[in-house]
Amino acid sequence: MSDAATESAELAAGFRRLRPVVHEWLARDLTGPPLEYTRAYADLMFAYAFARLAAADDARRLETSAMAVLSVSANAAHGWLLGMFRFRIDEALAGKSNSGTFPEKMEPPSPDLGAGYASRMQEVYVTQRLRNLSRILDPFEVVDPVADWTKSQDTTTRQVHDLRRLRDPVLIADRARAIYWMTQPHSIRYIEPTSGGKFSRAQPLPGMRS
């Protein structure tokens, strides 16, 4: 066994010993469903650690255990977060680095006004808040848990918020560059489109100085 493999095996053994300690610690302050849900999230974090160490059996076992608790909850936040953790575990087991993004279909939807708006907003906030705190889910610290409340404050805030839902790196760079130029003081600019509806750069309006 190589030195790297030996180190990974030792770390995995340490996590196996640590898990019951964490579960016992959580039981000191929590009972009932809050304890069950929190232990499930702890298991998802351990599952990710095992996946990074190529301990696939341990990762899948804890993932399955957490799914049994979270997948039956009526709270949409648990479903969204479970899917996100599973995506990260799959990435790690495939030997991929943490991408920092998720497929757009996995993102919590922006709540529509109407019946159930308040409860759905709370579910979205809880989801985004945990993402904001977790370096597993949000390694680059780009998630703003209150974005759905603040995005309508002004045009620039809304445009920056919308960047978070893009997946194409080229398009993200184009849009970010356009937002930057449009916010520069003492200049009036227009956005020059390229083929495919993307934006290449911001140009001063004819007759206007930068």
Phi, psi of 79 (to 5 degrees): -65, -45
The answer to whether the Cα torsion of 172, 178, 182, 184 is positive or negative is positive
**Whole-angstrom distance, CA of residue 185 vs CA of residue 2:** 58
Phi, psi of 172 (to 5 degrees): -60, -45
pTM of the predicted protein model: 0.73
**Whole-angstrom distance, CA of residue 55 vs CA of residue 8:** 9
Q: Give the position of tokens 């579910």.
A: 123
At 35-83, the pLDDT tens digits run 999 999 999 999 999 999 999 999 999 999 999 999 999 999 999 999 9
Quick one: average pLDDT of 121-129?
89
Higher-confidence position of 57 and 190 = 57
Cβ contact 203:176 at 8 Å: no
Higher-confidence position of 14 and 195 = 14
Cβ contact 49:15 at 8 Å: yes
Quick one: average pLDDT of 125-152?
82
Whole-Å CA distances, 50 to 8, 11, 14, 61, 206: 9, 9, 11, 10, 59
- Position 87 scores a pLDDT of 97
Q: Please tell me whether residue 203 adopts helix, strand or coil conformation.
A: strand
CA 199 to centroid of chain Cα atoms: 26
**Strands annotated E in the chain:** 189-193, 199-204
The chain-wide mean pLDDT, for the chain, equals 82
- Position 208 scores a pLDDT of 40
| pLDDT classification of 31: cutoffs 50, 70, 90 | very high
